Amino acid sequence: MLEVTINEIQNNIDVFLSKIKNGEEIVIKDSNNPIAKLMPYKTSKNKRILGKENGKIWMSDDFDAPLPDSIIGDFYK
């Protein structure tokens, strides 16, 4: 991972954008403190498959039942 200062990124933005396009990550520092991380933007190429996790998740029949007053009261303390 490449670390650069704000001045370096401002003066050579085209060079660093090229590096990012090639998959490199860059950390921008201000006074030796990291303030931002630039990395390539990746979109998900995997499509979700409906029902893929079918049978792996269990949910109680009363999962959406109202909470008891004793628990609801704790939210208002």
- Taking only the tens place, the pLDDT of each residue in 31-53 is 999 999 999 998 777 888 898 88
Rounded Cα distance between 63 and 38, Å, is 41
pTM over 0.75: no
Residue 36: the pLDDT is 96
Residues 20-36, mean pLDDT to the nearest whole number? 95
Confidence at residue 21, expressed as pLDDT on a 0 to 100 scale? 93
HEC string of the chain equals CEEEEHHHHHHCHHHHHHHHHCCCCEEEEECCEEEEEECCCCCCCCCCCCCCCCCCCCCCCCCCCCCCHHHHHHCCC
Average pLDDT across the chain, whole number = 91
